Structure 1
């Protein structure tokens, strides 16, 4: 057998192992067709020499906001996916967002997919944000979503114009359980937050830094526990997105200990940045608006260390960017928070850029870049968090997230040793933003090549993105798997048949 491409002389990392040295990857028609030693090659076979570097699956960033109506200065599909490819991500899952007045999800999804058509540098899927779960939508349109390959929905427990009350959350959870869909939940206590914001504004505390005080950890802790309780009643798998509080993460770990199908996601900014960033520069406090996101950056190194424990011990299922940026120096971006020259943190668009830096930030904390005694996670754990778990959770198993025969040849080839070390700089980013929150952060490596279905779309050797716009394909996703725990549990204190009396 002759292959289109053979990737040789690399250390191949999977979700469970580092394959024996000398193992090669054979690629045919964009698919991995063989792993083995001394694979045969023909005159047309392209040989790529990894030079002893690690090879990992292409990243799956399952939480990316692109071309969003509520973020007119944010990244669109072209710039956002170009940035993804440059950072080693080969699949993104973005959000078609229902507005409160929308009476159907069908045009929401169809119009959003039109925006992506022919624009993407990487493969992509779509979640649906649900803000108005009417009986019609639940009874017929959730099944339609599933048929379209949109097999996950996201709910907000906060934000006045988007939040779904607990009753609506329950109804959605039961419907998703019935269809085999994954429910993502933004868990913060709306009433706590709105109460605190009113008090801060009444006292004139409106600079960007007060955003971090307006959304304390306890608001996330309470809402996460409530989300888990609602999911337990419904016997439905959930993913709590962008977790930033160790107490909330401990709620998840306790639930997982009882084999509940509760998954957790965190993001780079919660493990590398503190709320000090939101104070801005000495003579320009509003520059802290660059770091306004929700949940906010936390205050202490202890907060970060608690989350790193969750990364290492398996509590977190996915590591996502929550790439939801707005330009800083733009009247329609972060500077919406300057009202008649007065800072108003509650008016600053929430969200940070991060799809390009996500992979390198985490890879730099593995034993590939640090002594084993200092590494915060193993290389196999890196693969689980950045690729394989998301593939399972979001219905892409068998095609994405692994290096094995039959899977798409989505691969990241890193640099050997310290050759790939670099400092993150805005001038080197490929997004359409005017800043990166990780400016000046040193990472231990950067992708040398990013391969999408066997084609190199990012080549650091050649100076940048070499893939063509439009190469990315829409991924019609299937039923998601339960990665943590299992369904079929009986809520604590209930009899086994209690649901039958009211469902």
Structure 2
């Protein structure tokens, strides 16, 4: 048996096991074999992992690239490059509907055209729905599932340009349940937030820090509970995205113990950053404005780690929605005539490249296991979103890998933004010390990142569009019911 690539001497990490002493053989971009002493020829590329972990290529299932509302953010070119350099081999980004759009098909076509030939990593698309007309829900969603393999939608419970009423969410859930789509929900109580914002503005409290004050944990917890109630009524699987608070996570876990198809996601900023970062001088706090906001206490961070370790969180994503800080149209939109207005600051942080190294730090520090890392960073996202050739190291799947340094092999370093490969002028994680980082990233059998060698090695058009199937993880409880019927 001839192989194009053989990876030797690594610890193959899965969501349940660590396999040592066996090689990985790759042929034609697929994992062909895992076994002892695989043969090689003069044409076989050999990578010696030297005892380091080999994990599946990362799947970042929540990424905003080149959207209309992030004009200073990363493009597909720069964002996909950054992804590979941080170990992510597949991203899922968002084609976003505006309220005035009467059809989502042109939106999907236009957004797909932005990515085609301009992504170095593999990619798939979600749909953000803000105007769910009957035609879109009943005719266009089935077309997107069948023809484009777009099997997930994202819904907002806040933001005036995007929020949906509960009835609109219910109507969408009827369709997504029937079609086997994954429904993603940004859960924050819009009216609570608006009241607090108006009160703060009346008091002149408009510095970036007050962004966190305006979006309390209670607003996230209430909307999370309400979203779960809507899901339970319709028996429709949902994923609560970028969960930041202990109470919201508890609502998710309570629903899961009742065997409801409720899933959760969190992000690196909720593991490492606190709201005090919003107090920086010279408007620097604007760099860390995101929604839900950074929380107040170290205990808030600990609760997010616990929710990864105990299985409450299904996925771990970057929610990369970056805006530059020092250019017109970026974060400084919130600085008007020299006065800060937190409501005007674009939401979102850069995090595509740092997502996996930050999660891996949790393994090194004993907060989570290597199995937890694989589960939330690759295996579960692939299952949840119908990426059936991704997310695991087993024969027949795409040969996507990260090879990490053996412990103690990499020289520790302090992160600077200049080390990263995105097109954003800051990172909220600058100054952190790392003792491991992806040594190699391999996409479908091709080495696309070599930290000790040539660095970024991928071609601009190397990424392929992945037409997704239905979720292998999420499903209604009553699997025998194909058409919606009123709950008893």
Matching of residues 403-482 of structure 1 within 5 Å: 403-420=393-410, 421-482=412-473
CA shift for structure 1 position 481 = 2.3
Aligned to 1:116: 115
The 3 A distance-change label for structure 1 pair 440 and 200 is same
Matching of residues 12-411 of structure 1 within 5 Å: 12-19=12-19, 21-147=20-146, 148-281=148-281, 284=282, 286-366=283-363, 369-370=364-365, 375-397=366-388, 399-411=389-401
Deviation string, structure 1 residues 172-220 (Cα, Å, up to 9, x no partner): 1111000000000000000000110000001100010000000000000
CA shift for structure 1 position 502 = 8.0
* 8 Å contact from structure 1 (residues 360, 444) kept in 2: no
**TM-score normalised by L of structure 1:** 0.94
- Where does structure 1 lack aligned partners over 5 or more consecutive residues? 490-495
CA shift for structure 1 position 500 = 4.1
Distance across 1 between alignment mates of 2:404 and 2:305: 23
SS at match of 2:348: coil
SS at match of 1:303: helix
* 8 Å contact from structure 2 (residues 155, 184) kept in 1: yes
SS at match of 1:364: helix
**TM-score normalised by L of structure 2:** 0.97
Distance across 1 between alignment mates of 2:251 and 2:181: 23
The 3 A distance-change label for structure 1 pair 501 and 18 is closer
* 8 Å contact from structure 1 (residues 259, 486) kept in 2: no
* 8 Å contact from structure 1 (residues 261, 482) kept in 2: no
SS at match of 2:371: helix
Deviation string, structure 1 residues 100-121 (Cα, Å, up to 9, x no partner): 0000010000000000011111
* 8 Å contact from structure 2 (residues 152, 182) kept in 1: yes
Distance across 2 between alignment mates of 1:354 and 1:463: 23
The 3 A distance-change label for structure 1 pair 486 and 313 is farther
SS at match of 2:440: strand
Please give the root-mean-square deviation of Cα atoms over the aligned residues, in Å: 1.5
Aligned to 1:493: none
CA shift for structure 1 position 444 = 2.8
Distance across 2 between alignment mates of 1:118 and 1:221: 41
Distance across 2 between alignment mates of 1:74 and 1:46: 37
Distance across 2 between alignment mates of 1:238 and 1:500: 18
Aligned to 1:492: none
- Where does structure 2 lack aligned partners over 5 or more consecutive residues? none
SS at match of 1:15: coil
Distance across 2 between alignment mates of 1:419 and 1:273: 28
CA shift for structure 1 position 463 = 4.3
* 8 Å contact from structure 1 (residues 422, 446) kept in 2: no
CA shift for structure 1 position 443 = 2.4
Distance across 2 between alignment mates of 1:452 and 1:125: 15
SS at match of 1:27: strand
Distance across 2 between alignment mates of 1:216 and 1:422: 35
Matched, 1:3 2:6: no
Distance across 1 between alignment mates of 2:84 and 2:395: 23
| Matched length | 484
Distance across 2 between alignment mates of 1:48 and 1:486: 43
Distance across 2 between alignment mates of 1:52 and 1:298: 38
* 8 Å contact from structure 1 (residues 237, 482) kept in 2: no
Distance across 1 between alignment mates of 2:155 and 2:238: 11
